[in-house]
Amino acid sequence: MLGRLSHHAANGRELTTVAFLESMHWFDGSCSPSKGQMTGATSASPGIFPNMFPSTPGQLSALSLMPYQAMTQQATRHARRVYVGGLSPTANEQSVAAFFNQVMAAIGGNTAGPGDAVVNVYINHEKMFAFVEMRSVEEASNAMALDGIIFEGAPVKVRRPTDYNPALAATLGPSQPNPNLNLAAVGLTPGSGGVLEGPDRIFVGGIPHFLTEEKIRELLEMFGPLRGFNLVKDRETGNSKGYAFCIYQDLAVTDIACAALNGIKMGDKTLTVRRANQGLTQPRPEQENLLLQAQQQVALQKLAFQMAPLPTKVVCLKQAVSEDELTNDEEFEDIVEDMRCEGEKYGKLVNVVIPRPGPNGESSPGVGKVFLEYADTEGSTKARQGMNGRKFGGKEVVAIFYPESKFAQGEYDG
């Protein structure tokens, strides 16, 4: 009979395990019928449930509630599990459980009290997916907001399992994630799905921190205009977290872009570019020629990136000032202020250094150069791009990145 009860509950029948147990008065420790109920139910029970009810009066109160708890867990299990697809080959039950416990706590998704949200994990290593069982229906619904989260370097799919029964689940708890979850705490953007949803969404990982959002888009748009783009940033600092999502207006170029861009080295990073939800698929035969052209184009772009110097926080402006402009104190202060105002247009400026000739007019290292130190490489990169080739006082400026270690030691002759 227990098996039949569980079967009924799993298939959404009206007679659930909980309702049945309530009708049998298991919760008040007594089998006495309530007023208006049929008598004789107790006498019939030993024949129907020989192992469930005691034959000696007074023994029912000593029964453990574990059978009720176990059947309740079974009845709600379909609504407490989530499917997690796209796992890496190194994933195991412990790492998956630890990860989801951590991110659920980070987003404020634990609603069943203190402790871990995950009670069980089953992994199919051959097909790289897992079923993650939460301790409550509400926590499972909150976990649905984690679709696309990065686990072990790649985005994973978070879905309802195939045995999920929406109609029955609606009677057990919330079926949608709490709208107040702090998804930004784990690098997800609330409501950012929109145009970035669907099977053609692309994950771009391994992005160097010095690469600006503009440059990333420029690289991706070699294959066509983007319908949507989202560079994931740290909510505290606003800096890139090293990965992004995009989708092309022409979905036919999705596989071509993935095949051509995946594996490109930029500095000490290697780009990972693939479909976010399905992994990389092979291009169709009719796309082969276009793919070959794209790979050749990317090879040239790759060479350009490799030849470009790695950015530092310090920008050196050559030919920005002449030696005779630096001898007069008042004129020197004006130049410093002008450079400060100009430099602040590109980011948070920490320091401005303009070497001057010696007190007797003797030449000093770095004279004729202007050094702008920024709080981060994003600001210095924008400054280099914005100032290189501009004219100051009729002279064309050359802007380069300068070694931070030499600048810190006051060595300006490099």
Please report where in the chains the tokens 């290189």 appear, as a residue.
388
pLDDT above 70 covers what percent of the chain?
Answer: 71
Least confident of 30-39, 224-233, 345-354, 355-364: 30-39
Please report where in the chains the tokens 């970035």 appear, as a residue.
196
pLDDT bucket at 231, cuts 50 / 70 / 90: confident
pLDDT tens by residue, 5-14? 333 434 443 3
pLDDT higher than 70, residue 54: no
In angstroms, rounded to a whole number, what is the distance separating the alpha carbons of residues 295 and 309?
Answer: 23
372 vs 302, higher pLDDT: 372
Q: Mean of the pLDDT values across residues 251-270?
A: 84
pLDDT bucket at 72, cuts 50 / 70 / 90: low
Q: What is the pLDDT of residue 250?
A: 82
320 vs 67, higher pLDDT: 320
8 A C-beta contact, residue 205 and residue 153: yes
Helices (H), 229-374: 254-261, 288-307, 329-343
Q: What is the pLDDT of residue 151?
A: 87
pLDDT tens by residue, 169-192? 878 888 888 888 888 788 765 544
pLDDT tens by residue, 278-333? 544 444 544 455 555 555 555 555 555 544 567 889 999 988 888 888 888 888 89
Half-sphere exposure of 107 (CA within 13 A, CB side): 27
Q: What is the pLDDT of residue 304?
A: 52
pLDDT bucket at 168, cuts 50 / 70 / 90: confident
pLDDT higher than 60, residue 412: yes
Residue 158's φ and ψ, nearest 5 degrees, are -120, 115
205 vs 209, higher pLDDT: 205
17-48 core/surface letters (b: 16 or more CB in 10 A; e: else):
bbeebeeebbeeeebeeeeeeeeeebeebeee
Q: What is the pLDDT of residue 290?
A: 54
Q: What is the pLDDT of residue 197?
A: 59
pLDDT higher than 50, residue 253: yes
Residue 132: alpha-carbon gap to chain centroid: 19
* Structural domains of the chain, ranges and CATH numbers in brackets: 77-186 (3.30.70.330), 202-278 (3.30.70.330), 314-409 (3.30.70.330)
The three-state secondary structure class of 316 is strand
pLDDT bucket at 19, cuts 50 / 70 / 90: very low
Residues in the chain: 414
pLDDT bucket at 93, cuts 50 / 70 / 90: very high
Q: Which residues contact 340 (CB under 8 A, 6 or more apart)?
A: 349, 352
pLDDT higher than 70, residue 137: yes
In angstroms, rounded to a whole number, what is the distance separating the alpha carbons of residues 225 and 250?
Answer: 8
pLDDT bucket at 162, cuts 50 / 70 / 90: confident
pLDDT bucket at 255, cuts 50 / 70 / 90: confident
